[in-house]
Amino acid sequence: MSAERGNALTGAEAVVRILQGYGVEIVFGLCGDTSLPLYDALARLDHGITHVLTRDERSAAYMADAYARLSGRVGVCEGPSGGGATYILPGVVEANESSVPLLAITSDISVSSRGRFTLTEIDQEALFRPATKWNAVIDRAADIPGTMRAAFSAMTTGRPGAAHIGLPFDVQRGTMDEEDVQADPAGSRRTAPDPEAVRNAADAIACASAPLFICGGGVMTAGGEAALLAVAEKIGAPVATTVSGKGSIAETHDLAVGVVGSNGGTPETRAVVEAADLAIFVGCRAGSVTTERWRFPAPETTRIVHVDIDARVPGANYPTEVAVVGDARLALEALADVLDGAAPGRIDPAFVAEQRERKFAAFDVLARSDETPIRPERLVSALQRALPDAAVVIADPGTPCPYLSAYLVLEKPGRRFVSNRAHGALGYAMPAAVGAHFARPGAKCVAVMGDGSFAFAAGELETVVRLGLPITFVVVSNASFGWIKAGQKTGYGGRYHAVDFSRSDHARIAEAYGVRSWSVSEPGDLAPALEAALAHDGPGLVDVLCQPLEEARAPVSEWVA
């Protein structure tokens, strides 16, 4: 019996009503045979949810990922069984490993069809188990409400993460009592730190002569930017960030070090890390990139205080003097309450300023270069000047990530820069910019990608044009998988193999989809093209012929060495 008859809902209708109950406004997805009941419920019911049809299930997940990061809400994506489930997986695991609350709903073959060589059959529970924080395939329509409540609870409590729900075809068509279809939209439940652990951390900081914060994305996920600044200023400690933590502090602040690590870090930012005798990791897993393979900070000489929502993180990579398990904002606020004041010695603010000036002096020399192909530094500099206030920048792996992480200066705190750092899959920036637009429709969204990444996701240009989204795309064009080619140069004697491909005219490709486009090969034409694209009230693309990454001076420590 349908919802209109009064006392029963189909499983598909129940899913829509529960999403509505949790305040979901956007669902990104792609249709399939096993999803027909769900699509019919979305078409018939009055629910206020906008469905964004994508051209690839990977894109749907990347859109939901960026939407969640920039809106602070759960991102929702959906796809069909079989290939749809396997295609959506990269975006799900990226969100989960980046601590992003994302719900992936994949429809499935009927429960009654299992084990009968049914088209698109795959064990979805087993497929998604290692890629999610929480995962279930529903066998009965009556289990839908409880399963969805459990999924939302898992995504939004403790360490945020991804959840997956498998929704078989016959479960979507089954019925249940309308009174059982309830959401529990209480919101996230923040984890407060243990007061004794906070006091121990304060004691460790008090006896440090040169404390330094290294902040990951957990600071902004918790809304802890103001609390971080209060503590840093109170004790006079510089603040470095990971790529995902970029925006935890305004990068123009006197205490801001910038991004550190092997991707986006520079010798100057490393020098500040080396000057610290106590590293305070906050919302950061202290992984291989942030620490340049656990060398900076040096574990032999640097004491560690580690603040993280996930109890498994502190001590995983460094001997930890004090572990504070809890929400980053609550932990920082608690620290501010018990800390007395500045550390006894501190890292000299003049030293931090000197390192920052040296870093940008070297950058500016290349940013002013009139050489061709265009230097990546010149692209970043021109983009910095052209970006409007509150713009959101999405950076794909490869050339965009290290350059923008290192040299794009965020003048205000907050998440305005996103890159997929957990798995670093190509093809993220273009669809992620769509999710970013729906999260912050009043902000200009800019996606910067290499030409390899463009080829992964070019089909979504149709989505952008169909929806009329005023997104600006920038393609760093050098006709190679540059990151791998640079690695072959520095680590394998320049024996290049299977990394070069033909040059594509990305501007003409975009124009074929209906995107207004510019192609730039001369440095003097770059700034006007970017300004025109950003001023355009529809989708625009700038194709920039850039210096190959293996020839550039990218801020990637393994290549510098």
Residue 464 near residue 539, CB atoms below 8 Å: yes
**pLDDT at residue 341 in the model:** 73
Beta bridge partners of 401: none
Instruction: State the Cα torsion 128-130-135-138 to the nearest 10°.
Output: 40
Tokens for 126, please give them. 């087993």
| pLDDT score recorded for residue 107 | 98
How far apart, in whole angstroms, are the C-alpha atoms of residue 201 and residue 320?
A: 11
**DSSP E strand boundaries for 150-218:** 162-168, 175-177, 211-215
Instruction: Show the 3-state SS of 517-558.
Output: EEEECCHHHHHHHHHHHHHCCCCEEEEEEECCHHHCCCCEHH
The candidate with the shortest Cα–Cα distance to 403, out of 560, 264, 199, is 264
Distance between CA atoms of 561 and 558, rounded to whole angstroms? 5
**pLDDT of res. 560:** 80
Taking the C-alpha atoms of residue 99 and residue 192, their distance in angstroms, rounded to an integer, is: 18
Q: Are 282 and 328 in contact (CB under 8 A)?
A: yes
Query: CB count, 10 Å around CB of 142?
Result: 17
- C-alpha dist (Å) from residue 297 to 22, 40, 240, 427, 561: 42, 55, 12, 32, 18
pTM attached to this predicted model:
0.97
Domains parsed from the chain with CATH numbers: 3-180 (3.40.50.970), 195-348 (3.40.50.1220), 368-560 (3.40.50.970)
For 341, left (φ over 0), alpha (ψ -120 to 50), or beta? left
Backbone angles phi, psi at 546, to 5 degrees: -110, 160
Give the Cα separation of 380 and 559 in Å (integer).
20
Residue pair 426/396 in contact (Cβ under 8 Å)? The answer is: yes
d(CA 538, CA 471): 7
Cβ neighbours for 545, distance < 8 A, ≥ 6 positions apart:
372, 373, 374, 477, 478, 519, 520, 521
For residue 231, count CB atoms less than 10 angstroms from its CB and return exposed for 0-12, middle for 13-18, buried for 19 or more. Answer: buried
Contact 309, 325 (CB under 8 A): yes
Average pLDDT by stretches of 10, the chain with 561 residues: 64 98 98 98 98 98 98 98 98 98 98 96 98 98 97 96 98 95 80 97 95 98 98 96 98 98 97 98 98 97 98 97 98 95 80 98 98 98 97 96 98 98 96 98 98 98 98 98 95 97 98 98 98 98 97 92 58
Report the pLDDT value the prediction gives residue 187, as an integer from 0 to 100.
62
Whole-number pLDDT of residue 190? 84
**What local confidence, expressed as pLDDT, does residue 2 receive?**
46
According to DSSP, the β-strands at 175-177 and 8-10 are antiparallel
Q: What is the pLDDT of residue 558?
A: 87
